[in-house]
Amino acid sequence: MQRPSIQKFLNNKYLAFCAAGMFLLVSILLGVSIGTVTVPITAIIKIITAKIFGFISLRGIDSMNITIVMDIRLPRVILSGLVGAALAIAGAAFQGLLKNPLADPYTLGVSSGASVGAVLTLFFQLSVPFIGSFTLPVLSILFSFLSIFSVLAFARKIDRTMRVETIILTGIIFSSFLGALISLMIALTGDELRQIIGWLLGSVSMRGWEYIKIILPFFIIGSLMLIANAKELNAMSFGEDRAHHLGVDVQKRKLMILTAGSILTGAAVAVSGTIGFVGLVIPHLARLLWGPDHRFLLPLSILTGSGFLILTDLISRTIISPTELPIGVITALIGAPVFGLILLKRKRMERSG
């Protein structure tokens, strides 16, 4: 059965990167341009170029547009892009490592652990000396580590071979338990209730450049760790025994991949709350379009996940403007049916051979 011409086009990896890059660029421009006040795209390009390089005059550009772009919309767009990219690459890595299309930071309990760390920080108004504003992401990442390693330790107790099904079921158990802890803290809270509920629903609203400074170092470290292990992920996707015969130190690489995924998930959850389906749907979509090779799948998931969440955030703040919907609600409404369609198409492709 011959593939459609669009599939042949996308199978060229250089063209695939161009297509994903263009998708992200268009998403950024639309995200910055559209809102209560529409800013012309030409003005956006001039403002950003002038602020970065300084050789273009901003004479003739409305000062209100400059403020809207640089202080309100651009940081929000960049933050949503970083969160989407972090969740997408973490999901792609977890799916490849566990050889299961249903694996993502949420089903493995990583996100629930990160959420517990963040809610504890908000609930007790914690501030660790020397790290200040980084307290929330650091505790989120720490709890995401504790969560994933608890899941793995418990799964090993149940099944020494640590089959994929066992790890996923254990992750679901831990997610349910940690979700109950979060509900308990919500039930006990007072003035912090609105802040915690708003955070749990997922949002990048009213978050400026300081939030970008919080997530950026963790995003860079986690992404580089995963991309550095792309070849090993390819080997492990065929099974741990096969990877071992190919010379891969399976335990070491698995630990590095799980650590990197926890860093990315914890940092994303820390700045935006819980946003579902990005880490589940985007890797599937990227794999369907561009194939399973993690050397290309991981960076393409970054570009696609980033553009997707920017557009999702745009929908969340404009669909019933001036009221904003939580971004997590929009990703679920879009992601669930899209994921269903992807699974149906995948099943048809398997039947057709």
Looking up residue 287, the CATH number of its domain turns out to be 1.10.3470.10
**What whole-number distance in Å separates Cα of residue 336 and Cα of residue 339?**
5
Q: What is the model's pLDDT at position 7?
A: 56
When pLDDT is cut at 50, 70 and 90, the band that residue 171 belongs to is confident
What is the pLDDT, as a whole number, of residue 70?
A: 93
**Integer angstrom CA distances of residue 277 from 15, 24, 329, 353:** 26, 18, 10, 28
Q: Identify the band that residue 92 occupies on the pLDDT scale cut at 50, 70 and 90.
A: very high
List, for residues 116-150, the tens digit of each pLDDT value.
Answer: 988 888 888 888 888 777 788 788 888 988 998 89
Q: Is the pLDDT of residue 2 over 50?
A: no
Q: Rounded to whole angstroms, how far apart are CA atoms 96 and 17? A: 20
Identify the pLDDT of residue 295: 93
Write the CB contacts of 217 (distance below 8 Å, at least 6 apart in sequence): none
At 1 the pLDDT is 44
Q: Determine the Cα–Cα distance for residues 151 and 107; give it in Å rounded to an integer.
A: 11
Length of the chain: 353
* CA angle, 103 then 107 then 110, to 5°: 105
Model confidence at 5, in pLDDT bands (50, 70, 90)? Answer: low
Separation between Cα atoms, residue 94 and residue 92, nearest integer Å:
6
Question: Rounded distance, CA 120 to CA 146, Å?
Answer: 14
Domain that holds residue 276: 5-352
- At 6 the pLDDT is 57
Per-residue pLDDT at 293: 92
- Mean pLDDT, the chain, integer: 86
Measured CA to CA, the distance from residue 155 to residue 159 in angstroms comes to: 6
Measured CA to CA, the distance from residue 270 to residue 148 in angstroms comes to 16
Residue 218 sits at the vertex; the CA angle it makes with 212 and 219, to the nearest 5 degrees, is 75
pLDDT at 349: 73
Contact 31, 80 (CB under 8 A): yes
Cα–Cα separations (whole angstroms), residue 330 to 210, 232, 314: 25, 34, 10
pLDDT of residue 26: 97
Task: Give the whole-angstrom CA distance, residue 86 versus residue 27.
Answer: 17
Q: How many domains does the structure of the chain reveal?
A: 1
- Inter-residue contact 101 to 95 (CB < 8 Å): yes
CB 243 within 8 A of CB 232: yes
